A and B are shown apart, each in its own frame.
Chain A
Amino acid sequence: MNKIAKILCLVLSLMMVASAALAVESSQIVGTAVITRHDYGARGLTQLPIVDEPLTIQVWKGLNEPVMTSWDQCIVYDELEKRTGIHIDWVYPPVGSERDNFNLRIASNDLPHMFVEGRSQYAGSLDEICDDEVFMDITPYYEAGYTPNYKYLRDNHEDIRMDTILDSGKLAVFWQFDYVGTSPWSGFWARKDLMDKYGLEAPVTFEDWENFIKTCYDEGGYKILIQVGENGGGGGDLDTCYYVFSAFDVGYYYYQVDGTVKYGAMEDGYQQALEILAKWYANGWIDPDFAGYDWNTYTARIADPANYSIFGMNYGEVGQTVTTSRLSVPEYDLIPINGPKQTPDQELHLRQYDFTTRAQWDALTWRCVEDGIAEKVCQWKDYWYSQEGAELFSYGVEGISYIWNDKGELEWVYDKPENAQYFPIDMADETKDFWTVYPLFKLHNGGYLRDSGSYIMSDYVWACIDEWAKVEPTYGIPMTSFTAEEATDYAALNTPIQSYLNECVGKIITGQMDASEWPTVQQTLKDMGIEECIAYQQAALERYNARS
């Protein structure tokens, strides 16, 4: 089922790319993604309005949006209140202190009714926090039928069903989903304009890569930029150096081969990958400062056309990067590529892994139980997953921010207001997309049953999804979960291991340590308990595979 879903979305995205590619041979950015109406299935099972008497609940949600100063301005929540009758009293953590604020509220038992996007703040075990009566486990309400839409989604999508349940059998929290489905969103990009200039082909094997990098470096001083370990805002699967390791059939951290969990650093091939990176670094091909870049510096650096010939980037940034770079280099162009291979027809097994279930959840807290409104809040939250709710969160209010036209396609309503401060420029009609309408109506950035197609702005995105998806992430580990005890022990062992590994990888690449010392590192990792960690991961994976 999982595979079918994947193939389906692959086909879907291929079709979209094909249709878009016809329209734009000239490699101009055009943001016309055609959005047709999805049938999410579940609709109208909740009685509206949910409450007869006005009810106010407290919701904690970070506000990091340039276009609004409070969520009350967002038409989505305004409409939601109109429909459900439940008023939201927003609690905002200060920007940049979200995690502190979240932890402080939990620690001092000063809880709102719901934490939005808690996954970014909470690293512990969901089992534990539910058992501690901080979060409210939604399972009993789920079983009692208070969340019909969420249940419908789980019943009809195997991957959602498997991803949203803990091994203890708890559902615990409400997860977010990408409806259009899974696609890689991070990978390598090469400079198309440099290829044309120096007569190069898109690199495939290590030889091609080295030739490519060397030519660009010698001719124009272009380097490459990789993400390793903790830099670049990644964390394991987001890092593009992952791709280099994947040529040697090892993962950067944990990966699985046919249900057996392995740790890249303990396997053969890891050392070879490091040797190659170290060689590149010694040749001056890799940006010497790569280790010190935080996420913001990283994105700023890759957007400068004078810097790199190959770099890793999320697809969300590609449009901006191209626009920016064309200011100084008009012929600037990018092409998505996959990681280097040993032989041209080697099959890679690892890439950035992606899920229908987004790595983000909202948690109802125990305060709902204490206030005796748990059922109502569950119903209200469940409405977010209904057909109307999904459309509301994805596109805004029908007739105000969008309409369905005769062909059943989505059309954004776009009227440039007289004195809208965020609209200093005129946008061509065909570049209208979610982001142009978003500040106008103050829509919701992110959704619960998100139509991710509505966010995609350019053909580059479709092209890279197409290219990157050529690698099947068969070695990826799905969204497993630990039990409370496991989580504690695992974190105690794994946190130092991970930082030690990153440290050693950084040292080897920058030449502060020789790659031949890798067996010593492996021994140290062993002493630090890597085998126990692998065992924990293995157990979690087996439990995941046993889910149905």
Chain B
Amino acid sequence: MAAIKRTIGERAFAVFNYVFMTVLCILCLYPMWYVFCAAFSDPAYMYGSRGILIWPYAPYNVKGFQLVFTNDYIISSFLNTLFYLGVGTFLNMFLTTLGAYSLSRQNCYWNGKIMKFIAFTMYFQGGLIPFYLMVKNMGLLDTYSSIILPVLVSTWNLIVLRTAFGAVPVSLEESARLDGANDWTILWRIVFPLSQATVAVVTLYYAVYWWNNWFNPSIFLQTKAKYPLQLLLREILLQNDASMTSGANMSMVGQESISQYKLLVKYCVIVVATVPILVTYPFLQKYFVKGVMIGSIKG
């Protein structure tokens, strides 16, 4: 009797759950869908109306994308972002793992103190000026290193990973020690694989940071050839706005209106900045979910 009742409640909940999730998905998806539609729509139409779009408004066009891709640096900045993302995330993960492992060990005299020392920096920073001077004095201005080195470890991620490492049962570690394993082996053979889910999350956090990174590059880089994609896209966005008001590139898009393209380019830039990550993400998610699964089985 009780069992049946519960099933009804559960069923009702399941139905609610699915309906809720569907609504949520629509809510999350629609603005992006709107942007996609807008990017391919007729600029003259988009220009005048701000109503609801279900499908791109004909005549479809790709002129906005042409405008974005006429930029000479788009390919190099894309490669740069891949470089920053690859090298940066790898170094991030390596150092963060080391730090998180060390700081998650129990009974170490200094760990609590080091943790305080680190957490303090989340709240107090010297500010931009000394930070800039630091990079400058090290001779790193306008180098790839100036982008990667100052953000090797993110305290937030370190704390997240440390919490996960701390949750690995001590018994496993102890038995490994009896087998003669040292800390290095324990980290990479036991703790790291067992926390795979969180490791995956933290990696993802870092990767997304690198994908979206523009502020530090905007301070430290001079050479456009070293710009990451987001900084360049930001420039395109602003540049198109500014130059179109000046009337300078009137001839660039022909006799149709330039102002219309202002909007269009904006939408196209969003698409360019978002599509690569959206396209790759589901593939990554497969591994990511697998990691979560492995973690759950072993944990």
Contacts and interface: CB of A to CB of B under 8 A. Distances in A.
Contacts of B243: 64-66
Interface string B91-131: 00000000000000000000000000000000000001100
16 contacts: A66-B252, A95-B235, A108-B133, A110-B136, A299-B259, A300-B262, A304-B47, A316-B247, A319-B247, A320-B247, A320-B259, A421-B70, A422-B251, A424-B254, A439-B252, A445-B246
Contacts of A319: 247
Interface of A: 64-67, 69, 91-92, 94-97, 100-101, 104, 107-108, 110, 295-296, 299-300, 303-304, 306, 316-317, 319-321, 323-324, 327-328, 421-425, 427, 435-436, 438-439, 445, 457
Nearest to A96: B238
B245 A299 contact: yes
A501 to B, nearest CB: 27
B251 A427 contact: yes
Q: Which of A64, A317, A438, A439 lies at the interface centre, i.e. has the most chain B CB atoms within 10 A of its CB?
A: A64
A538 to B, nearest CB: 36
Contacts of A421: 70
Nearest to B241: A296
A425 B255 contact: yes
Contacts of B250: 320, 435
A104 B128 CA distance: 8
A327 B42 CA distance: 13
Nearest to B266: A296
B161 to A, nearest CB: 32
Interface of B: 44, 47-48, 70, 72-73, 128-129, 132-133, 136, 217-219, 221-222, 224, 231, 234-235, 238-243, 245-260, 262-263
A304 B235 CA distance: 26
A328 B222 CA distance: 43
A95 B73 CA distance: 14
Contacts of B222: 91-92
A66 B257 contact: no
Contacts of A95: 234-235, 238-239, 242
Top 7 closest A-B pairs, CB basis? Answer: A324-B257, A95-B235, A66-B243, A96-B238, A94-B218, A66-B249, A107-B129
B238 A108 contact: no
Contact of A438 (B133, B242, B248): B248
Contacts of B239: 64-66, 95
Contacts of A436: 251
A324 B238 contact: no
Contacts of A96: 218, 234-235, 238
A93 B239 CA distance: 13
Given A95-B235, A95-B238, A96-B238, A108 B246 contact: no
